[in-house]
Amino acid sequence: MASGDGAPAGRFWPLVGGILVADVATKYWAERALVPMHVPHDVLGDVVRFTLLYNPGAAFGLYLGSASRWIFMALTVVAAVIIVRMYRQTRGDDWPRVVALAMILAGAIGNLIDRIRSERGVVDFIDIGIGDARWPTFNVADIGVSCGALLLAWVLWREDRALAAAQAAAAPGGSSPAAS
């Protein structure tokens, strides 16, 4: 267990802190350097731009009305508790899982900070696309949550396959893991 041997804690919490600092710092910069809002600043032509906006909803503009801020804050706290519990149950040598959970937690906390500090919503500024075909604007926290979730999905898929192979091998007349 991660909490028992302490090894991942030496990497988990610094990774959470590093991503969180990067998120807060870039949002601080964006709010000062990218004014006025909704005005694109080309970084790599029109493909990568920085455009300041505030998202009162969640990913991809999901908005639940005037209660969105409070609903998403509550959901974030619940998700953070679940992520920390998953981390505590993680083996010390399972670095991909540790990294995935740290990325998700840092991103969730980063966006939670925005929701707590302002009714305007989460600071978003990374704007990618071509012409009018644009991905929803995002931030460093969103990158952490998205990449962490993809990595965690891969980790859990890998664990599921390993468990299924072990069960098949242990069953009477079971096949070897290489056969599947």
State phi, psi for 26 to the nearest 5 degrees: -70, -35
**146 in Cβ contact with 19 (< 8 Å):** no
Which of these is catalytic: 23, 114, 124, 127?
A: 124
**148 in Cβ contact with 23 (< 8 Å):** no
Bridge-based pairing of strands 48-55 and 122-130 is antiparallel
**180 in Cβ contact with 129 (< 8 Å):** no
Which of these is catalytic: 23, 114, 127, 142?
A: 142
Bridge-based pairing of strands 133-134 and 48-55 is unpaired
> How far apart are alpha carbons 169 and 180 in whole angstroms?
10
Residue 142 known to be catalytic: yes
Please count the residues of the chain: 180
Catalytic residues: 124, 142
